[in-house]
Structure 1
Amino acid sequence: MKTAQDLVAAAKAGITEVALEGAEEAVLAADVLIDVREGNEYQDGHIGGAINIPRGLLEFMLSTDESLQDRSRRYLLYCKTSGRAALSAKTMEEMGYLHVKSIDGGFDAWKESGKPVAHPSSPDFG
């Protein structure tokens, strides 16, 4: 029986991961940056310019949101440590997306290296 770690390892073997050292350049080169963490994780901080599509909704959003259906665009994914992003990248490739990469080490590595972190602004009801 396979474990989650087995599935992640298999996904990582078949996708392109960007090393942390090249992550900022990859972010700039991406047409679409997707944070596949849960909404509360995204709210606590994310990479600037990222849209939040939790892993559990990814296939459905890709299938229904017209702005995400261009399979020739460059997509860059990340999650907390890179497992969910690897699974997501593999799924996107299986769905016919041609240029999908994920960030090795995920958001935790990004943040720990001192790279910029964006925080959504809260509405001012005052």
Structure 2
Amino acid sequence: MSAPESAGRAQPPVGIDELLERVRAGYARIAPQEAYEEARAGDALLIDIRYAALRERDGLVPGAVVVERNELEWRLDPQGSHRLPEATSHDLRIVVFCNEGYASSLAAHSLHQLGLHRATDLVGGFQAWREAGLPVE
């Protein structure tokens, strides 16, 4: 079969567990304490992608920037016209977190595809942050 014929063929289906494993193999995830220390030192930007109901129920991580998941790439692309003021470089250290650390892995992968090579996500998400006794307001 020639390359053009095979290019149009669909890839075999992948389950979400396998997809997460593949995605996470592409970067080093970060533990809550390490994320806290990097953010506190000004070396990382914490991005909260949890939806509003979870933020209202459980609280916020002080200093984290709330970016709805459906806006994430537009807000963090340093070349984008809708970027956050903090999104100034592809070298920016970004730590994305969701509630439990699943959706954030897919989000971090998406940021890598934009060239944000230092993007990562928080192992265990907000719940792990809170369980580690780190600040919540």
Matched, 1:8 2:10: no
TM-score, length of structure 1 as denominator length: 0.80
Pick aligned residue for 2:36 from 4, 20, 24: 24
1:81 equivalent in structure 2: 100
Which structure carries more relative contact order (alpha carbon 8 Å, separation 6+)?
A: 1
1:123 equivalent in structure 2: none
- 8 A Cα contact 2:35 2:44, kept in partner: no
1:35 partner letter: D
- Report the identity percentage: 27
* RMSD, aligned CA: 1.9
2:52 equivalent in structure 1: 39
2:9 equivalent in structure 1: none
CA distance 1:107–1:55, shift in 2 (3 Å): same
Q: Deviations over 1:73-95 (max 9, x none)?
A: 22111111111111111111110
Higher helix fraction (1 or 2): 1
Q: Runs of 4+ in structure 1 displaced over 4 angstroms? A: none
SS of the residue corresponding to residue 17 of structure 1 reads coil
1:17 partner letter: R
1-structure distance, mates of 2:102, 2:18: 10
2-structure distance, mates of 1:7, 1:57: 22
Q: How does 1:44-83 map to 2 (within 5 A)?
A: 44=57, 45-62=59-76, 63=80, 64-67=82-85, 68-83=87-102
2-structure distance, mates of 1:73, 1:60: 15
1-structure distance, mates of 2:110, 2:98: 15
- CA drift of 1:69 comes to 4.6
Q: Quick check: which has more Rg, 1 or 2?
A: 2
Unaligned runs of 5+ in 2: 1-12
- 8 A Cα contact 1:89 1:101, kept in partner: yes
Higher strand fraction (1 or 2): 1
1:12 partner letter: R
Pick aligned residue for 1:102 from 121, 131, 134: 121
